[in-house]
Amino acid sequence: MISKDRLQKRIELLAQIGKTEIGGVSRIALTKEYKEGLDLVTNWMEEAGMTVRLDEAGNLIGRKEGTNPELKAIALGSHIDSVDNGGKYDGVIGVLGGIEVVQHLKEESITNKRSLEVIAFCEEEGSRFQSGGVFGSRAMVGNLLKKDLEVTDDKGNSRYEVLKDFGLDPDNISNAIRNKEEFDLYLEMHIEQGPILIREDIPVGIVTGITGLSLTEVTFHGEANHVGGTPMDLRYDALLGASETALAVEEIVNEYGGNAVGTAATMEVIPSQVNIIPGRVSTVIDIRDTDYERREAILKKLEAKVKEISTRRNLGYQLKSKLKANPALSAQHILDTMKKKSKELGISTFEMPSGGGHDAQLMAEITDMAMVFVRSENGSHNPDEYAKPEDIKSGTDLLMETALYYVNR
Ligand SMILES: [Zn+2]
């Protein structure tokens, strides 16, 4: 069986690496702490009977060969990098839970026809290069752009240099690409990054799909002028345009409903001084939805609204798409299997979309995928995130039974 104690012990041991003063974890991708974390995870993968390698993008891959090499592999995984001062569980439980599944097979002498892989994807969080994250999984599905190697961290080192210093070979990063013929499916366990499972009082979530994300920068150009000397009818206040846009985001997203969420996440005001009417204001609008068509419709409506605001207020405007990640739906057959297995295990589950992005979203481009969520107190990306050992055990049991169903099929 899954060993709750071993899993818990490993979570605590990994949390020691990069431990911060306030009890959080800073294990930023491709740092010394990250290397230390990878070494520890490598030991555990080997203990579970896997051969381990690091690909050119820094993804750690453990593999237990199947008895039938003709069959596509089953992959389990997540990430062990963290945000600055993050928690112990985000990403970690998916990797360590995956190792636990493989170790169970070894200990119970269960043979696997299909090969099993456990993958710790590199730099899921994207907190080092502020470039949207999911770097390792993007590399694996062949989705990197040239600029992904050129981006720099806060010390001015490019990702290319950082990968090189880490002992990798970024010139041959395309070697990390895997194809559709290699994987039968990908399963990822992760803590829920919101309060829904807590609210429902249910330990485990079955993720129906991962939300698509779009970041759009809206900039209004007005006229910076004296606040005392400029009458109300002769003002071109860029902040008022941006403020109306922020309110419009809420209104439009509520109008469409469903799983859509929208946020005016930043506001840059230039100049930002008393005595001066803001002349230029940029706001980055974050729209997420599991439904591609609906997200596009929301973006279109928002664009029309920005245009209307700028005309009415006599402001210039610019729209710039900064990032677009498409939504990914979980494979229905895996969801059906998960529902059946959770019933057999006596674990109550709740079907829900994922509002956060995950490596599974990228893996969906080359294979079927589904995710298991584990209830987490205090959300994620902070030192107080907390998943109960028994909930992690339930999630891992479901992960294991689902993997076992497919592994000899
Ligand atoms: Zn994560």
Nearest to 372 by CA among 405, 404, 345, 339: 339
Q: Is 381 flagged in the annotation as binding?
A: yes
Using one digit for the tens of pLDDT, what is the confidence trace for 336-395? Answer: 999 999 999 999 999 999 988 899 999 999 999 999 999 999 888 899 999 999 999 999
Domain layout of the chain by residue ranges: 4-210+327-407, 212-325
Strand positions, DSSP E, 139-253:
183-191, 204-210, 212-221
Using one digit for the tens of pLDDT, what is the confidence trace for 204-216? Answer: 999 999 998 899 9
Q: Is the pLDDT of residue 275 over 90?
A: yes
Residue 169 alpha carbon to ligand 1 centre in Å: 25
Using one digit for the tens of pLDDT, what is the confidence trace for 71-83? Answer: 999 999 999 999 9
User: Which pair of tokens denotes residue 148?
Assistant: 């992904």
Residue 381 alpha carbon to ligand 1 centre in Å: 8
Please state the rounded mean pLDDT for residues 37-43. Answer: 98
Amino acid of residue 88: K
Please state the rounded mean pLDDT for residues 251-258. Answer: 96
User: Which pair of tokens denotes residue 308?
Assistant: 């209307």
Domain 4-210+327-407 = CATH 3.40.630.10: yes
- Which residues hold their Cβ within 5 A of ligand 1, which is an ion? 90-91
Which spans in 51-122 are helix H? 92-107
Q: What per-residue confidence (pLDDT) applies to 162?
A: 97
Using one digit for the tens of pLDDT, what is the confidence trace for 222-237? Answer: 999 999 999 999 999 9
Angle, CA of 363, 364 and 366, to the nearest 5°: 70
Residue 404's pLDDT band (boundaries 50, 70, 90)?
very high
The CATH class for the domain spanning 212-325 reads alpha beta
Q: Is 190 flagged in the annotation as binding?
A: yes
Domain 4-210+327-407 shares a fold with domain 212-325:
no
Q: Is 90 flagged in the annotation as binding?
A: yes
Using one digit for the tens of pLDDT, what is the confidence trace for 96-111? Answer: 999 999 999 999 999 9
Using one digit for the tens of pLDDT, what is the confidence trace for 294-353? Answer: 999 999 999 999 999 999 999 999 999 888 888 999 999 999 999 999 999 999 999 999
Nearest to 370 by CA among 329, 317, 322: 329
